[in-house]
Amino acid sequence: MRIGIDLDSVCIEFSTNKPLPGLTEDLRRIHAWAAIRGHRLLCISGRAIRLTAGPNTGMLGAIDALIKAEIFYVFEEFHFINGFHKTVVATDLLLDDDPMVYDAWLKHGGNPDNFILFRTEENKHLWLYDELAQISSLKDLPDIVDRLLGL
């Protein structure tokens, strides 16, 4: 299974590129779990290649942050697509915090059961949707994916 993981607000802060608390440990565990299950982890970001909203907001700042956190190796693929049309990347499952990405996922034929909402303060209006799989910590990703797959 190809699992797309959003970068900003899920792994690192957009404006500072600081890893979210526990990111290194969580992604290392997820990487080990994915290897056992035969899943591929893809980093998918709406960031542009160039700086767009200030210092370090482009692709290079993000990659530098992942290298410094010693988790760059966790992802088999990187996609920086300059917008929220993450559906152009072939994934079986997508973890993202942006409601617009969820809307695009559905519009382009994505299975609603294969989208996982990463809870943030900015999207709390969606937390009440029981039909939408949701997590608030990356450490919960393996459990919810296994549950979605009936394992």
SS3 123: helix
Q: What is the DSSP string of 33-74?
A: HHHHHT-EEEEEE---SS--SSTT-SHHHHHHHHHHTT-GGG
Residue 97 tokens read as 């915090």
pLDDT digits (tens, 9 = 90+) for 63-79: 888 888 888 889 999 88
Read off the pLDDT of residues 31-42 as tens digits, 9 standing for 90 and up. Answer: 999 999 999 999
User: Is 0.75 topped by the overall pTM?
Assistant: yes
Assigned token pair, 58:
């482009």
76-80, 102-106, 134-138: the lowest-pLDDT one: 134-138
Classify residue 71 as exposed, middle or buried by CB count within 10 Å of its CB (0-12, 13-18, 19+): buried
